[in-house]
Amino acid sequence: MKRLAVVILAAGKGTRMKSDLPKVMHEIAGKPMLRHVIDTCARLSADHVVVVAGPRMPTVEAAAAPHAVAHQMEQRGTGHAVGCARPAFGDKPFDEVLIVYGDTPLITAETLGRMVEERRQSDAAVVVLGMRVAPPNAYGRLVLDAAGNLDAIVEAAEASPDILELELCNSGVMVIDGSVLFDMVARIRNDNSKGEFYLTDIVGLARGDGRLARVVEAPARELVGVNSRADLAAAEAILQQRLRAAAMAGGATLVDPASVFLAADTVLGRDVVIGPNVVFGAGVTVGDRVQIKAFSHIEGARIGAGAIIGPFARLRPGSVLAEDVHIGNFVELKNAEIGRGAKANHLTYLGDVTVGAGSNIGAGTITVNYDGFGKYRTEIGERAFIGSNSSLVAPVRIGDGAMTAAGSVVTSDVAADAIAIGRARQVNKPGRAAEFRAAQRAKHKK
């Protein structure tokens, strides 16, 4: 069995991001770029993964878990960064080592798999991932020989005008023979205009040793590197196109795909219909035949089959909806368990609550779950009817089949099949409205 290791370079500070957050921790589709790369590499069933972080990057180290972390204390080039990973390998032998970058979140497992396969089939010392970019600008150029093998990688800063005319560019991603990787890295010199140790020099070293170097090409859109906020937005747009296409291919209808934003882990069932301007945060699972209407925002929630959500609904983390639930316009849920067939159709906040099957929550209902110090839970039984404009002051329990009168403030438990009336008694004063108007007119004439 061949053994594969992965080194993910993630030590860059990302100064152009103008952020206190390490560059690779910026998110696209609700997930840090580094996690996108780690999760992609996981599909290759790598035997060992090392993330190379910079100094004082605890968020990067946390995101890398449970994988090994090495540190590049000074940024002295990509070759130096790979060399910093050496102690994390110990004495384990690997047939191939894949070098990828934590700020290229769009690269696919299929492309990386093709590189690994090319290395194994050709027995090349190095396989480099190439792309064609217009204009190529500052990318290094890949120089091929007459047989189509890779002869050299020339950094743009070191390239002659003839070399700069070449269209095939270096993405930086490589697969290297594990038996020679660190030996060749140790031989890289920094006698260049930047005084850095370029990993790209490894191609020349391999060729000098009489070894083969090969190129695998991939679309440039897959190899977008993120160095600025504008790059981040461009990567987000590309990934959203992928996610929307996958959702529709999987049996979901997106009425206006360009206005729907999905998270990387959004799971949609069959025959789901999503209206315009719907946003999914991380951790959402949607069952079959669910309708999600326009301008709804959903994160950290599970929605059962046949439910109807929105428009203008907000489902916050911890919300679990059973089958055939209706959550309507301007309803907000947080840490709410809603039973089968229950309805909350208008202008309601349900936080830290359990709602039983078949219950109806009237417009303007609020679960009063926070007293400034702690959160408390409301329990509503099955087939309960909560009248409009009710305030349920937690902790409180409404029994099965119970009702609350409209406008009630409920502060104690309500037994099954009881009606709770928690409001002041109405008093009518005949003729007083006319007397009031007359008094006001006389007052304002003075």
Rounded to 10 degrees, the C-alpha dihedral 238/239/243/244 comes to -30
13: number of CA atoms within 13 Å, CB side?
11
3: number of CA atoms within 13 Å, CB side?
10
Q: How far apart (Å, rounded) are the C-alpha atoms in residues 185 and 126?
A: 12
The tokens describing 104, both together, are: 């290229």
8 A C-beta contact, residue 23 and residue 32? no
Q: How far apart (Å, rounded) are the C-alpha atoms in residues 118 and 131?
A: 16
In 5-69, where does DSSP find H-type helix? Answer: 33-42, 58-64
For residue 183, the Cα-to-chain-centroid distance in whole angstroms is 38
Pairing of strands 285-286, 267-268: parallel
State whether residue 358 is helix, strand or coil: coil
- Going by C-alpha positions, the residue among 11, 214, 225, 207 that lies closest to residue 96 is 214
8 A C-beta contact, residue 197 and residue 111? no
- Going by C-alpha positions, the residue among 125, 135, 229, 223 that lies closest to residue 172 is 223
Distance between start and end Cα atoms, the chain:
101
8 A C-beta contact, residue 423 and residue 408? yes
The tokens describing 383, both together, are: 């087939």
DSSP-derived secondary structure letter, 139: S
Q: Please, what is the Cα angle at 169 between 164 and 175, to 5 degrees? A: 140
- Going by C-alpha positions, the residue among 100, 124, 13 that lies closest to residue 51 is 100
Residue 67 annotated in active site: no
State whether residue 10 is helix, strand or coil: strand
Q: Which of 80, 326, 346, 444 is catalytic?
A: 346
Q: How far apart (Å, rounded) are the C-alpha atoms in residues 299 and 273?
A: 17
Q: Which residues are catalytic?
A: 346
